[in-house]
Chains A and B, each alone.
Chain A
Amino acid sequence: MSANDLSLRSAVHDLYHEHHGWLQGWLRQRLGSACDAADLTQDTFVRVLKARNALEIREPRPYLSQVAKGLLIDLFRRRSLEHAYLEVLASAPESQQPSLEEQAIMLQALLDIDRMLDGLGKQVKQVFILSQFEGLTYPRIAERLGICTRTVNNHMAKAMEHCCLMQLQLQLS
């Protein structure tokens, strides 16, 4: 471990020591749930540790709350997806209900897909969903969205390239 690594670690340690109670309180106030607040507090410090910039942080509390806000929004994304998934499940006939274990696996897979598609424009995303998941041909998609098939083709290429890069990035992080 280099000297730099050591000082980084001790900087994060100091941050944790001094601000972890405050951050947990800040999150608790926003989340309502003490459990969620404790989890997100840990996640925030893990992010800070990974970012390796603890030595450059001049104003710790605004910085920590900024990182924590990002995590809050991730949490919102997860919850809203979970909700949409449950709505879809609830509208399917009982005989087609997956087991609880299958549900958990599918939800995780959906979250991964949602994250891969994150950052694409609305129309690009729509085209991709219609083709990849609903199996529509390009002419049908073009007709449905009022765009030309050439655009559908370009959107598909763009979306797939984006997904590949996102997948790489998500595996790395």
Chain B
Amino acid sequence: MSHLKSSLSGPELQALSAAAQWYARLQSGEASDQDRQDWQAWQAADELHRQAWQRIEAVRQQMDRVPGSLVAPTLHGVQRSRRQVVRSVVLLASAGSLGWLGWRSETSQNLLADYRTAVGERREVRLADGSLLLLNTDTSVNVRFDGAQRVLELLWGEMLVSSALDPLKRPLRVSTRHAQVLALGTRFIVRSQAAGGEVAVLENAVQVSLAQGGPAVHLDAGQRLDFTSQALGAIRRNDATVGAWQQGSIIAIDRPLGELLADLSRYRPGVLRCDQQIARMKISGAFPVDDTDRALAALHSGFGLKIQHYSRYWVNVSGPAAV
């Protein structure tokens, strides 16, 4: 406790410590009447004891302001998410491919990244070597240039890289937690999220390999592939959906509604989800990402879906009223 600066005197601190012991005993679910009598006698014995117990009561009152049924899952949830993040980082660090041992928490890392866009924002960044990055929504990037190489650490999110020819001829590499991409003089898009990501090449070519190592796959202009930290997916052709965000839209071609909403929710804060029954419903169309309310309105007018706003941060999409 000594690290907590306290305005309390020594005796006050002692009384508080004793009061906390009483609290622990009474909270056990097995306290006897005798325990309760002893506790009351302890309080009555000294004004300091009474004051200390009042501090405990004040904390209890503060805790009681929210139903326990809500507090417990929220705190477990937040601990889990903060922890998972740390775990993924530890794994990455032990793989050691780039020696990112400085990583502590990927999320606080995200906040402290060199370049970052907010949810719903897109931004251009010109780098020292003349390369141009276009960062999509909710993206964090670190730029690590040294005498031997140019490394862009894509911590989270999505970006279009237009690489410049480097007078020092240093290779340009994008590293994500799952995979890394070596530019072969080029324009390409990399996305990286919790479960995996995607690379799509617009000009020239890249080489993709897993962050953990293994053989590299050559990807030409007009090609793309998915990746997780375990495997690289099959090579597919680019279509109109690739990089549509540069023009401010998501283009869907027979896309399951659940996937489309997951994609759309990258551009707006809060929760956006749909009823399970309609998650596989096929949707086609262009949806604006700069005004996601309009995208949702289009789902309503074009597909008869019901958009329910529970709060500004929470929207549920459900099936057509009558089918």
Residues of A near any B CB (own CB < 8 A): 29-33, 36, 69, 72-73, 75-76, 80-81, 83-90, 94, 97, 100, 103, 105-106, 109-110, 112-114, 116-117, 119, 122, 125, 129-139, 149, 152-154, 156-158, 160-169, 172
Q: Any chain A CB within 8 A of the CB of B247?
A: no
Picked from A29, A129, A157, the residue with its CB within 8 Å of the CB of B71 is A129
Mark each residue of chain B from 7 to 23: 1 if its CB lies under 8 Å from any CB of chain A, else 0.
Answer: 11000000011011101
The answer to whether B73 touches A156 (Cβ under 8 A) is no
The answer to whether A134 touches B111 (Cβ under 8 A) is no
Please measure, in the bound complex, the distance between the C-alpha atom of A108 and the C-alpha atom of B59, giving whole angstroms.
15
Picked from B30, B65, B81, the residue with its CB within 8 Å of the CB of A80 is B81
Least CB distance, B160 to chain A, in whole angstroms: 17
Number of interface residues of B (CB under 8 A): 61
CB contacts (< 8 Å) of A87 on chain B: these are: 77, 271
Minimum CB distance partner of B65 in chain A: A109
The answer to whether B118 touches A30 (Cβ under 8 A) is no
Please measure, in the bound complex, the distance between the C-alpha atom of A68 and the C-alpha atom of B318, giving whole angstroms.
42
Please measure, in the bound complex, the distance between the C-alpha atom of A88 and the C-alpha atom of B5, giving whole angstroms.
34
Chosen A-B contacts, 6 in total, with CB atoms closer than 8 Å, are A73-B108, A86-B314, A110-B70, A112-B62, A113-B75, A164-B19
Least CB distance, A29 to chain B, in whole angstroms: 6
The answer to whether B24 touches A113 (Cβ under 8 A) is no
The answer to whether A166 touches B271 (Cβ under 8 A) is no
The answer to whether B20 touches A161 (Cβ under 8 A) is yes
Q: Any chain A CB within 8 A of the CB of B112?
A: yes
The answer to whether B75 touches A75 (Cβ under 8 A) is no
Residues of B near any A CB (own CB < 8 A): 1, 3-8, 16-17, 19-21, 23-25, 27-30, 55-56, 58-59, 62-63, 65-66, 68, 70-79, 81-82, 107-108, 111-118, 121, 123, 138, 270-271, 273, 310-311, 313-314, 316
Please measure, in the bound complex, the distance between the C-alpha atom of A112 and the C-alpha atom of B21, giving whole angstroms.
23
The answer to whether A161 touches B116 (Cβ under 8 A) is no
The answer to whether A73 touches B111 (Cβ under 8 A) is yes
Please measure, in the bound complex, the distance between the C-alpha atom of A162 and the C-alpha atom of B19, giving whole angstroms.
12
The answer to whether A166 touches B4 (Cβ under 8 A) is yes
Please measure, in the bound complex, the distance between the C-alpha atom of A136 and the C-alpha atom of B29, giving whole angstroms.
8
The answer to whether A162 touches B4 (Cβ under 8 A) is yes
The answer to whether A153 touches B29 (Cβ under 8 A) is no
Please measure, in the bound complex, the distance between the C-alpha atom of A127 and the C-alpha atom of B228, giving whole angstroms.
36
Please measure, in the bound complex, the distance between the C-alpha atom of A160 and the C-alpha atom of B74, giving whole angstroms.
20
Picked from B24, B66, B123, B313, the residue with its CB within 8 Å of the CB of A109 is B66
The answer to whether A30 touches B111 (Cβ under 8 A) is yes
Assuming the A-B contacts A161-B16, A164-B16, are A81 and B74 also in contact, with contact meaning beta carbons closer than 8 angstroms in the complex?
yes
Least CB distance, B265 to chain A, in whole angstroms: 12
The answer to whether B23 touches A156 (Cβ under 8 A) is yes
The answer to whether B314 touches A137 (Cβ under 8 A) is no
CB contacts (< 8 Å) of B21 on chain A: these are: 157
Least CB distance, A50 to chain B, in whole angstroms: 13
Minimum CB distance partner of A156 in chain B: B24
Minimum CB distance partner of B119 in chain A: A32
The answer to whether B108 touches A138 (Cβ under 8 A) is no
CB contacts (< 8 Å) of A169 on chain B: these are: 4-6
Please measure, in the bound complex, the distance between the C-alpha atom of A134 and the C-alpha atom of B29, giving whole angstroms.
12
Least CB distance, B35 to chain A, in whole angstroms: 12
Please measure, in the bound complex, the distance between the C-alpha atom of A168 and the C-alpha atom of B52, giving whole angstroms.
12
The answer to whether B6 touches A109 (Cβ under 8 A) is no
Least CB distance, B22 to chain A, in whole angstroms: 9
The answer to whether A88 touches B77 (Cβ under 8 A) is yes
Minimum CB distance partner of A160 in chain B: B20
Assuming the A-B contacts A73-B108, A80-B82, A138-B30, are A157 and B20 also in contact, with contact meaning beta carbons closer than 8 angstroms in the complex?
yes
Please measure, in the bound complex, the distance between the C-alpha atom of A109 and the C-alpha atom of B65, giving whole angstroms.
7
CB contacts (< 8 Å) of B138 on chain A: these are: 32
Picked from A76, A122, A138, A163, the residue with its CB within 8 Å of the CB of B111 is A76
The answer to whether B116 touches A113 (Cβ under 8 A) is no
The answer to whether B74 touches A110 (Cβ under 8 A) is yes
The answer to whether A29 touches B68 (Cβ under 8 A) is no
Known: A156-B28, A167-B59. 15 other contacts (CB 8 A): A31-B116, A32-B138, A76-B108, A81-B74, A83-B81, A84-B74, A86-B314, A88-B70, A89-B310, A129-B75, A134-B68, A160-B23, A162-B4, A164-B56, A164-B59
